[in-house]
Each structure stands twice: as structure tokens, then as C-alpha cells.
Amino acid sequence: MLKAYRLNPEAALKACSWGAFQILGMNYAIAGDYDNAQLFVRDMCTSEAKQLTILRQFIDKNSRLRKAVQDKEWDKIAYHYNGPKYAENNYQIKLKEAYEKL
């Protein structure tokens, strides 16, 4: 990260996932009203409460993801959050199990 940051700070921040929910830096505009990845990362490093706010904003800005979350459709949540290869890592199962545990 440090080597990449020295070459191109914005690109380095966009290339990493941030916070407890691992939101990719390149999604900074979707995750809030950020003008750049640096502001997004700053907020991600502020607190867990701020990370939850960013996650909520990220979900709210994606109507398909929001509906899947509301309906507790684990496969659709994993697809819209992690992409088409979500099943390779069993994200849908992990989400369902975490939800049921809590």
C-alpha cells in the first residue's frame, strides 16, 4: 500500500477495501457523497459507527441491493455486494449464518 500510495495516492486508496464491511475504495461515490477516495478513507478510519453509516449509504444507493437486504435474499445480497463470483466464497451462506446467529 505504501509503495502504491507514493506512486499515486488516489489510485492506491481506490484499490483497497476499507472498514469492517470491506467497501472498495473505488466505490467512494456510491458509499456517500464523497468527491474523492481520500475523504472516503478518512471517514472509514474515523469509527465503527461511521463505517455503519457508510454501509447504509452504500446499500441505500443500490436499489437492487437494498431490496435484497429488506427481503433477506442472501444470494441476491451477496451478488450485488460481492459480484457474480460470490458463491466461490460462500458469501450467501456466511451472510445467512451471521444473520441467524445475531
Q: What is the pLDDT of residue 5?
A: 96
| 56-92 pLDDT, tens digit each | 999 999 999 999 999 999 999 999 999 999 999 999 9
The pLDDT, as a whole number, for residue 81 is: 95
How distant, in Å, are the alpha carbons of 21, 41, 74, 77, 92 from that of 97? 16, 29, 10, 13, 9
Average pLDDT value over all residues in the chain: 96
